[in-house]
């Protein structure tokens, strides 16, 4: 396996104010044992646009790598402080990433193959936003702007879709601020922007999702059907939000890929050292408590879930989605 990481923006191109020294980047997992061209998977972790969750990054990329694809993980712009609205910065991040990968199709052995984007929760919202708004996004690098940023297919895992009744409001706050305009709410409500040119989608979610209501994926499926877009939609009867691969490694908190937490850690360091931007004292206190709790949770011993009958049955169901998604990819 050939692995590397690299930034997607140059120094003078990236200006997000609350980055705290972070720059969006990709990590690559490429087959190097032959020169065979392969389909490509770009994985986009979730985290409420406040962070990127490790278990939704590298483990997913490695899963599709094992299925024969070349894979990348995108660590895009987020903001745990929720002090500077992200706006279209994450959309610009993923658009440039798709263009950059395609521009190097010979180097990455993906020429004339499918480029799929796979997002989770808020990361799925980002993937969905690109799927419906790819024509809106221009790149300031002419050589990249000439390359298509339209994905060949989109996997939406327990996705945030709507900014309406069933939304995940904190994702909206992170993107648009605490008083979003009607224009922004419409733009970022993906189901309202599906068209006949939207790429094919694979959606999956659990009916009992406790954070992002399952109605989100139903709204997207309905919009896709209305516009004549081929899609697959799987709703599992049980399970909570954020299941990732839903395999035993997930249940035992074995993730890896901590690199996607870079901006979160840089923001935490800035807050602890009095260098935060536009963050109220109340919010700083909330975050300091959260950071302490996160560190304590990371040190907890994880019980062995491999003999828990409920977990075993849940794992058998949820862990099927990558195989189902691969069948869908192969049929695109």
- Residue range 275-291, pLDDT digits in tens: 999 999 999 999 999 99
Q: How confident is the model at residue 330 (pLDDT cuts 50, 70, 90)?
A: very high
Bridge partners, 73 (sequence order): 27, 43
pLDDT of 90: 98
Phi, psi of 266 (to 5 degrees): -65, -40
Mean pLDDT, residues 245-261 taken together = 94
Residue 33 has pLDDT above 90, yes or no: no
Q: How confident is the model at residue 300 (pLDDT cuts 50, 70, 90)?
A: confident
Strand arrangement of the beta sheet that strand 115-120 belongs to: 2-7, 25-30, 70-75, 40-44, 115-120, 153-157, 201-206, 231-236
CA distance 121 to 166: 13
| Tally of domains in the chain | 1
pLDDT of 120: 98
pLDDT of 156: 99
Residue 194 has pLDDT above 90, yes or no: yes
Look up the pTM and report it: 0.97
Residue 34 has pLDDT above 80, yes or no: no
Q: How confident is the model at residue 298 (pLDDT cuts 50, 70, 90)?
A: confident
User: Exposure string (b/e) for 170-189, b if CB count within 10 Å is 16 or more?
Assistant: ebbbbbbbeebeeebbebbb
The three-class DSSP label of residue 3 is: strand
Domain with 164 in it? 2-331
For residue 272, the tally of other CB atoms under 10 A from its CB is 13
Angle, CA 135 vertex, CA 133 and CA 139 arms, to 5°: 105
Tell me what the pLDDT averaged over the chain comes to.
Answer: 96
Mean pLDDT, residues 10-15 taken together = 93
Name which of 55-64, 104-113, 177-186, 286-295 the model is least confident about: 286-295
CATH number, domain of 255, equals 3.40.50.1820
Dihedral (CA of 295, 121, 38, 234) sign:
positive
């Amino acid at each position: 396996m050939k692995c590397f990481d690299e930034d997607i923006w140059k120094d003078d191109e990236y200006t997000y104010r609350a980055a705290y020294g972070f720059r969006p980047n990709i990590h690559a997992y490429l087959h190097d044992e032959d020169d065979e061209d392969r389909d490509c998977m770009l994985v986009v972790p979730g985290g409420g646009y406040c962070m990127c969750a490790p278990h939704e990054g590298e483990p997913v990329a490695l899963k599709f790598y094992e299925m024969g694809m070349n894979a990348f993980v995108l660590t895009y712009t987020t903001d745990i402080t929720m002090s500077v609205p992200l706006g279209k910065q994450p959309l610009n991040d993923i658009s440039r990433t798709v263009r950059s990968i395609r521009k190097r199709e010979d180097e990455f052995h993906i020429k004339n193959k499918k480029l799929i984007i796979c997002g989770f929760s808020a990361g799925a919202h980002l993937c969905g936003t690109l799927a419906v708004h790819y024509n809106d996004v221009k790149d300031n690098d002419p050589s990249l702007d000439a390359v298509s940023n339209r994905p060949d297919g989109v996997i939406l895992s327990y996705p945030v879709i709507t900014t309406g009744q069933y939304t995940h409001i904190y994702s909206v706050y992170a993107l648009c601020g605490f008083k979003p305009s009607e224009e922004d709410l419409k733009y970022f409500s993906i189901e309202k922007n599906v068209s006949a040119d939207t790429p094919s989608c694979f959606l999956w979610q659990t009916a009992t999702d406790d954070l992002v209501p399952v109605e989100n994926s139903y709204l997207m499926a309905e919009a896709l059907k209305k516009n004549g877009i081929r899609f697959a939609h799987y709703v599992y009867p049980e399970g909570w939000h954020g299941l990732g691969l839903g395999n035993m490694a997930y249940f035992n908190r074995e993730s890896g890929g901590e690199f996607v937490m870079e901006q979160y850690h840089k923001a935490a360091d800035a807050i602890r050292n009095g260098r935060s931007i536009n963050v109220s004292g109340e919010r700083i206190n909330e975050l300091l408590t959260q950071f302490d709790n996160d560190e304590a949770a990371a040190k907890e011993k994880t019980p062995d879930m491999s003999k828990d009958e409920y977990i075993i049955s849940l794992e058998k169901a949820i862990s099927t989605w990558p195989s189902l998604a691969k069948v869908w990819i192969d049929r695109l």
